[in-house]
Structure 1
């Protein structure tokens, strides 16, 4: 299948996923409303990114290298713009799950978002670099920032999550393992794809990234939205503080 097929599939899948999440998300409480918006807007941004790439507006052509066998390659800038907005939103949503009863440690969330942005920007520099020493230095820095994100999730957020009731702790762990498990595949694809070692063809690399994106943004978004609904169902049944109804205009 051609690269264009995977780009249009990504666009259509993200649009359909956004609609599904927004329809599934309930708005009985501020928690449900906020989480529904967060997880609904992520695939909307991604759909715009895939539309830009599919129509030729989201990529640039980088020159061939000094080797005669080298050919020019398409570099998808829109992908990194997408990740700059969507991955912080996903982390904020995960932090809200971890601290379901109240966002207690804002600094941890800012640290997560900051580390994530460093990871994305340095991955962009890696993809744009032509000098091998510079390219792989950027890749190493990006991986280091990725490890900082892992630390924030599985150490700092989990410390806060320990104060929550058992069902919220389980929901957070499921969400964290699912999301980070998918995210672990991205640096591998960048490493072996056209921007790295060039072991994958452009079509295969696009296919893998599109499927990873749909999993991380749509499948995970649906999963996280349903986890929030289950937690709020229990809040409402027990009359906890988190179950405060959403105020609506008269």
Structure 2
């Protein structure tokens, strides 16, 4: 299958996923409304990115390497723009799950988002670089920022999540592990793809990234939306006030 096939598949999958999340998500409380919007807008942004790449507006041609006089590679910069917006939103959604009863420590969220943005910008520099030692230095810095994100999730957010009830703690752990497993595949693909060692064909690299994107943004978004609905169902049952929407703090 051609690279174009995977790009258009990514566009169609993200558009359909966004519609499904926004349709399934409820808005009985402020928290539920916010989570629905957060997880719904993520695949919308990704759909725009895939449309740009599929139509040739989201990529540029770079030399395949410093010693390659004729060989070139297609560099898809639109995916980094996508990740700059969507991964902070996913981290915000995960943080809201961790602190379901109220955003007690927003500084943790800002730290997560800051580390995430450093990771993405340095990964962009890695993809753009031609000089080997510069390229791999950027890659190492990006991986370091990636580890900081995981520290924020599994140490800081989990400490806050410990104060929540059992179902919220279980939902947070499920979401955190799911995202971690999917996200850990990204640097591996970038490492062996066209922007790194060049071991994967362009079509295969695009296919793997498209599957990872759909999993992290659509599958995860649907899962998180369902879990939020269940948590709010219990909130409303415990407070015995289903007719009083939009009272829970965002």
Normalising by the smaller structure, the TM-score range is: over 0.9
The answer (yes or no) to whether the contact 2:66–2:130 under 8 Å persists in 1 is no
Alignment correspondent of 1:167: 167
Asked if 1:105 corresponds to 2:114, the answer is no
TM-score if structure 1 supplies the norm length? Answer: 0.96
TM-score if structure 2 supplies the norm length? Answer: 0.96
Q: Within 2, Cα distance between the matches of 1:110 and 1:175?
A: 19
Q: Within 2, Cα distance between the matches of 1:148 and 1:53?
A: 30
CA offsets per residue over residues 2-54 of structure 1, 9 Å max, x none?
00000000000000000000000001111110000000000000000000000
Alignment correspondent of 1:126: 126
Q: Within 2, Cα distance between the matches of 1:197 and 1:65?
A: 10
Shift of residue 143 of structure 1? 0.2
Asked if 1:143 corresponds to 2:143, the answer is yes
Q: Within 2, Cα distance between the matches of 1:245 and 1:130?
A: 55
| Runs of 5+ consecutive residues of structure 1 not aligned to the other structure | none
RMSD: 1.6
With over 3 angstroms needed to count, the CA separation of the structure-2 counterparts of 1:18 and 1:68, relative to structure 1, is: closer
With over 3 angstroms needed to count, the CA separation of the structure-2 counterparts of 1:78 and 1:177, relative to structure 1, is: same
| Runs of 5+ consecutive residues of structure 2 not aligned to the other structure | none
Shift of residue 148 of structure 1? 0.1
Q: Which runs of 4+ in 1 moved over 6 A?
A: none
Shift of residue 71 of structure 1? 1.1
With over 3 angstroms needed to count, the CA separation of the structure-2 counterparts of 1:122 and 1:108, relative to structure 1, is: same
Alignment correspondent of 1:233: 233
Shift of residue 67 of structure 1? 3.0
Alignment correspondent of 1:84: 84
Q: Within 1, Cα distance between the matches of 2:69 and 2:184?
A: 31
Q: Within 1, Cα distance between the matches of 2:55 and 2:214?
A: 19
Alignment correspondent of 1:245: 245
Shift of residue 180 of structure 1? 1.1
Alignment correspondent of 2:55: 55
